[in-house]
Amino acid sequence: MKASRSHWFRVIAIALVLTMICHDVTWANQAALSSGGIPSAFPKAAGTAYLPQEIGRVDEIATHQKSKTSAVLVYHIQDAHSIYEAQSNLAKILERLIQQEGVSLVLVEGGSGKVSLSPLRKTAWKSVRRQVAEEFLRKGKISGEEYLQVASDYPFELIGIEDEALYQANLKVYLRALRRKPEVLRRLSQIESRIRGLQSELYPSWCYPLYWAT
């Protein structure tokens, strides 16, 4: 039995890696969720009492009424990217919304089109999927919503909301800027050294305590 579980652990891990590559999803984890109806877990009066403080807080609630009888409800979740505790809490928030509010659609950054991992559920038992997903989550390889989709059987879908062409263009600009980071940091260090040299020449002695205090 132990050997069999080890085999399925490797299978689901490989499948998860391949799925990540095929989707070309970066690990931007901010998510927006939509569902119908007025939420019972998040009443109109925003406050931390409506969400366990250990997993998050409600900062604002605003409703756009489409008609007198219906409203479109969007949950916008802000989180720290690739931080295990934040992503674990994100998964718990999503689970709460799915269970209590019937949320079935999660819109995510860093992807375009359908990016659901639910097909991986067929590859192994839930206990094995949860173990593999937990390991990937701790390493920052998957996000909270991806963890929940692999580790559970909840019926919800992940859709990437990025414009792929625009996203790739922005990514190229970011990578070009990143390559210049060492040079920029070196020049900033030189500027800082020059400023410190001028301080001793230009600042009166009584300014130093004030300068270092700020």
Residues 34 and 104 in one domain: yes
Residues 37 and 119 in one domain: yes
Kindly report the average pLDDT of the chain as a whole number.
77
The pLDDT value recorded for residue 66 is 63
Across the range 37-48, mean pLDDT stands at: 43
Residues 133 and 205 in one domain: no
Place of tokens 């009492």: 49
Residues 29 and 99 in one domain: yes
Say if pTM beats, i.e. exceeds, 0.95.
no
The pLDDT value recorded for residue 25 is 37
Q: Residue 15: pLDDT band by 50, 70, 90 thresholds?
A: low
The reply to whether 101 falls in a domain is yes
Report d(CA 99, CA 151) in Å as an integer.
Answer: 15
Q: Residue 43: pLDDT band by 50, 70, 90 thresholds?
A: very low
Residues 151 and 99 in one domain: yes
- The DSSP line for 87-107 is HHHHHHHHHHHHHHH---EEE
Report d(CA 191, CA 174) in Å as an integer.
Answer: 24
The reply to whether 172 falls in a domain is no
Residues 51 and 120 in one domain: yes
Task: Give the ranges where 81-206 is alpha helix by DSSP (H).
Answer: 84-101, 126-138, 144-151, 164-179, 181-202
The reply to whether 75 falls in a domain is yes
The reply to whether 170 falls in a domain is no
Distances (CA, A) of 155 to 37, 90, 107, 149: 18, 17, 14, 8
Q: How many domains does the chain have?
A: 2
Residues 92 and 8 in one domain: yes
Strands (DSSP E) contained in 14-109 are 31-36, 64-65, 71-77, 105-108
Q: Which residue has the higher pLDDT, 204 or 42?
A: 204
Residues 58 and 92 in one domain: yes
Percent of the chain whose predicted confidence (pLDDT) is above 70: 70
Residues 126 and 49 in one domain: yes
Q: Residue 84: pLDDT band by 50, 70, 90 thresholds?
A: very high
The reply to whether 54 falls in a domain is yes
The reply to whether 174 falls in a domain is no
| Amino acid code (one letter) for 167 | Y
* 72-108: burial string, b at 16+ Cβ within 10 Å, e else: ebebebebeebeeebbbbbbbbbbbbbeebebeebbb
Helices (H) and strands (E) in the chain, counts: 7, 6
Domain residue limits at 31: 2-163
Which of 17-21, 75-79, 135-139 is predicted least confidently? Answer: 17-21
The reply to whether 175 falls in a domain is no
Enumerate residues 6+ apart whose C-beta is below 8 A from 40: 100, 101
Residues 93 and 150 in one domain: yes
The reply to whether 48 falls in a domain is yes
Residues 205 and 143 in one domain: no
Residues 123 and 208 in one domain: no
